[in-house]
Structure 1
Amino acid sequence: MSKFLAASFAVLIFVVATLAHTPRYTKRSNPSEYAVLGNILQVLDENGLTTFLDLAFKTGVAETFEANISPLLGIPLFAPTNDAFADLDPNQFNNLLNNPQKLKALINYHTNSHLPQIISAIKVEANFLRTNERTVQETGASNEPIRYNKYGKEGEILTVNGALRLKTLNASNGVIYVIDRVLEIPPLVNSFFEVLKRNGNFTILLAAFTDVGFVSRVTTGPFTLFAPTDAAFKRLPHDVLGYYFTHPDEFLVEVIRNHWVSGTFYSRGLTNGPIPVFSGGTVDVGVSSGGITFGGANVIKADLTSTQGVVHVIDEVILKTNKNMADAYDYPDNNKQRFY
């Protein structure tokens, strides 16, 4: 054997041996290389989204992320950070780990990967950036609603069911939207009224809806509801509360409309200042490091996703609005007509 052939054979043996012992995910000095070269699994690993990656392997969903398909028709993936999983209630997380079926459904809900191109990476990004459109509702795993919202002057704040999109990562077979919370799978029947029934402590508000006929007359939305708890109603003087309920068409209906807003405003979309409500006036919103207020009431639980929009729970009933501010806003009559 010539020296040239012997040297070539030695190089070939070295290359084969090296490939055979190459780790599944090779770390790169420049993570951005994965935007072109890596598949979804590699991009998740390189960017430290390891909890989601481990759960994807645990449930078998990871096999889908190895598909060799065009990124334009690829897998749109919503990947919570490790901190987002750490923020889950420990008991809730352990229950998920011990229930393979629920855990797989949760991971699938974050992928939409098994749908026949209902949501493509390019379509999701286009929905995020579309001009003059606040809310886009698409269909996720098992037909649950997924809401993509843009907020801010330039639409720079992007949310998925209220979770903040921290950044976008491109992969060879799809796109990854890194989000700051784990998405919950909403039930298929998930109107505002169903949300309130499941969360409890809203019997008085639900009774008010029934008295004024809103349960059967409110349409799909999208709306934002600031929902006072039973405790909030009970803090009203007894005679005041009784008066409203004995005059539903005159006064109770207006009080309820004080809590409804046109459009889907998750907590990330709320800013300081007045916001128009369906009673015709405006209510002041306050946003600070200490929390969110609506007409002086504290938002004690935010971002309950519904098929009709989003619900924020508040600790006071809003009896009055800034009526004198109503004329400063373009508040179309057709919004009111489709509400009641």
Structure 2
Amino acid sequence: MLPFLTFLLVLGQTIQGEQWDIYDLADSLGCKDFVSALQNTGPMYVLSNNDSGPFTVFAPTDDAFNNLPANIAAIFNFGNWEYMHEIITFHITYGNMTLADFHNEAKLPTWQGQDLRVNIYSNTSGGAPIVTAEGARIVKSAVATNGIVHVVDHVLYNYPQVSADQYVHEQRNMTTLDLVVQITDLQDKLRGDNITLFAPQDSVFENIEGFMNKTLSNNTRITNLVKNHMVNSTLYSTSLTDGSVLTNTLGQHIVVKKNGTTITLNGVSVLRSDVSVTNGVVYTIGGLLFPA
């Protein structure tokens, strides 16, 4: 490996370093676990070839690998080559895509075969816009001889590879929401592109007296219930700031409170955030969202 090169990086710019290929550049940027995964799954042979490409690669930090959910970490810990290869090749796209080339809700075709979603959010701190790939924030970027490396703060994976309506249908703790979606025939709404769904889990409905007998019989009420939990843009948690106000598909407001990783929406706790689906992102929440 070539010795480490110190990059002078201003977030929002892509900096030209020495003439390194993508593989060596990712290593020099400190993405050691990602480089090891490239070795173990095969892409290193292409990414280290200056005659190949150009490619745009999203390289997770070592901290990103250290903070993987247990089910994803197990894929790497136990050397499941097939799934490792799927995850790693999801980080590799085509062309020389600098930060300036991205636009909000862009979909980039990956080696894995699935599209990777890029989002651009305004920075409430007054700095450069926040750019994410599948919700992972790009923290620095550098140019290689055969492409560009964007360092990201999370490992990218899109399991399950389903739309929002399919995701709800497959979750054991969202059977009531799934029933409501089917009764109201809103599957197409949940298949629409660029959506954020705040999905109440079953226990929420179980605690509402008379919900199954009274509310489910009122089509307008349950249709509005679903629309009240949807936003027509892809909003990963990186984009949510304390005090920000979202507008759902009924035109009503959702007020965000955020303290570290703890998020509430109109006082309702977010139990799980940033589940990437093919048409946006899904959150699991512990209550119903009523107008702020």
Instruction: Determine whether 1:182 maps to 2:155.
Output: yes
Of 138, 141, 144, the match for 1:171: 144
Aligned match of 2:200: 228
Q: 1:96-132 deviations in whole A, cap 9, x for unaligned?
A: 34222221222111113xxxxxx3123x53443x4xx
Distance 2:227 2:142 in 1: 41
Quick one: which amino acid aligns to residue 3 of structure 2? K
Quick one: which amino acid aligns to residue 170 of structure 1? V
Aligned pair count? 281
More strand by share: 2
Same amino acid, percent of matched pairs: 25
Distance 2:261 2:28 in 1: 35
Instruction: Determine whether 1:120 maps to 2:95.
Output: yes
Aligned match of 1:200: 172
Distance 1:161 1:28 in 2: 28
Distance 1:34 1:218, change over 3 A: closer
> Comparing 295-304 with 91-100, which one deviates more in the overlay?
91-100
Distance 1:84 1:43 in 2: 18
Give matches, 1:262-273, under 5 Å: 262-271=232-241, 272-273=243-244
Aligned match of 2:271: 300
* Kept after mapping to 1: 8 A contact 2:164/2:191: no
Give matches, 1:82-121, under 5 Å: 82-89=62-69, 92-96=72-76, 97-112=78-93, 119-121=94-96
How far did 1:79 drift?
0.6
Aligned match of 1:285: 256
DSSP 3-state at the match of 2:18? helix
Q: Which runs of 5+ in 2 are unaligned?
A: 9-14
Instruction: Determine whether 1:38 maps to 2:38.
Output: no
Kindly name which structure, 1 or 2, has the bigger radius of gyration based on alpha carbons.
Answer: 1
Distance 1:229 1:47, change over 3 A: same
Aligned match of 1:309: 280
How far did 1:212 drift?
0.6
Aligned match of 1:338: none
DSSP 3-state at the match of 1:141? coil
How far did 1:30 drift?
4.2
DSSP 3-state at the match of 1:53? helix
Distance 1:295 1:57, change over 3 A: same
More helix by share: 1
Distance 1:164 1:29, change over 3 A: closer
Quick one: which amino acid aligns to residue 151 of structure 1? Y
* Kept after mapping to 1: 8 A contact 2:108/2:116: yes
* Kept after mapping to 1: 8 A contact 2:275/2:281: yes
Aligned match of 1:53: 35
DSSP 3-state at the match of 2:149? strand
Aligned match of 1:326: none
How far did 1:57 drift?
1.1
Quick one: which amino acid aligns to residue 100 of structure 1? W
Aligned match of 1:16: none
TM-score (norm 1): 0.76
TM-score (norm 2): 0.87
DSSP 3-state at the match of 1:27? coil
DSSP 3-state at the match of 1:143? coil
